[in-house]
Structure 1
């Protein structure tokens, strides 16, 4: 049984592995990464592969029977055939385009799914020196990382919907007309673009109110940030307002809405 006690025991080594993966990625970032393309034409770099190797080395020791769905392993055909209801989702470098274009908004992501719901997540933005983590029963936190040292943890939570209008956050690289159409129906005072899973984290720490995504993503892109947002009091929903679940046969997400304040659910139906 993967209860809170087990997850709290796993959290420190997962966090350490995410930090180590971030360090390896930054070494390649600073030296200049070689870019290749996978079969689906999406870019991949040495940093993706180096980060994933570090993460898998830790995760396989925590519970060897727990399946690990990792982006680069899946692309190489080395992922699990089936996962059941509980498994890890790993994206060693979310925001590869931001990484290649040297915009800094890329992240290392590890999420734990139990009964098809992400219950624990760790997200590290190494170029920004910020580490986020959250657990469904223990809350959500952020800490600065300076020269490899983790600073004091600060609890984070979603904010109440501002009376003066919402701040929406959307994809920097993948904004669609459907996104703009959805936002046009909300009382949005301002919007900003951000890369990678940082969008979930902005909502989780009360820096934004809603993040709609109308476009393709994979479960490893979202699980860690989703877990942190849920731990901070938010939610991720299908556009019809039903719960967003994990463990689909191809690990491909549908459209979703990540929101902070629950009062925003009236716009998601």
Structure 2
């Protein structure tokens, strides 16, 4: 598989420029509206998406883009070619509205159902995560959006005591059952796709998610997690794929439940099984 030249540079620049627009709205105070599914949207979502779409179209005019606000408006491109971008211009809108700094910009490239490159940028925290097949990085920024430094990151090997990351705004009883049945008492509540990045950085071991998500919510973080040596799968261990457009039981691009894992004990990122894991998970 050959990735487009300067792919990550383009994704990073688009995310940074979108982040600037988001912070301008954040500082001024957003106006909140609600979509048909009652999820919130602000002018920051719309401005950021316009910036990202323009830059992706200029750099990669032949690769279609599936973006959250465009899909909500009924604009869904043909992705039959197997390669497309997934964009969430403002992941963690509830965090954004509540003035918590954990919101992110997510951009990912999907190839044949697999996220092969992604960028997650948290502008208010002045950090970003970037990854393509086999290599992931954490990037730190100054107040003027200049890059202060980069460092390679990777998932840690699981020990006997696991740390989980869970959703701050979307907790559910199944997650509590998963933590209890796998003996996990140490967990952190985090907003947006930063949960994937904590796994990729080696600061946690598992991210269970049983509530509803969409592909643009997960693709960029998933790409970074996989690049860092982790894995995302459905709770029964089956593959987690993207480009789900013909679903009879849910909307286009809706995700099933999933479990994100750091590196397994034998350091094989292709193995996500924890002893007893499949038997314990409640679907």
Shift of residue 84, structure 1, vs aligned partner: 3.7
Q: Which one of the candidate residues 140, 149, 152 is aligned to 2:149?
A: 152
The answer on whether the counterparts of 1:241 and 1:268 sit within 8 Å (CA) in structure 2 is: no
* Stretches of 4+ aligned residues off by more than 6 angstroms: none
Unaligned 5+ segments in structure 1 are none
- Give the equivalent residue in structure 1 for 2:167: 171
Structure 2 distance, partners of 1:175, 1:214, is 9
Q: Tell me, in whole angstroms, the C-alpha distance in 2 between the residues paired with 1:207 and 1:121.
A: 19
Unaligned runs of 5+ in 2: 246-251, 266-271, 279-283
Contact 2:141/2:149 (8 A) holds in 1: no
1:24-173 to structure 2, matched below 5 A, reads 24-137=21-134, 139-146=135-142, 147-163=144-160, 165-173=161-169
Equivalences, count? 264
Partner Cα separation in structure 2 for residue 10 and residue 169 of structure 1: 29
Deviation at 1:225, TM superposition (A): 0.2
Q: Deviations over 1:205-233 (max 9, x none)?
A: 01111000001000000000000000000
Name 2:269's counterpart in structure 1: none
Counterpart for residue 3 of structure 1: 2
* Displacement after TM superposition at 1:81 (Å): 4.4
Match of 2:273 among 259, 265, 268: 265
The answer to whether residue 206 in structure 2 is matched with residue 210 in structure 1 is yes
| TM-score (norm. length: structure 1) | 0.95
Structure 2 match to 1:238: 234
**Distance apart, 1:113 and its partner CA:** 0.4
TM-score calculated relative to the size of structure 2: 0.90
Q: CA shift at 1:14, angstroms?
A: 1.5
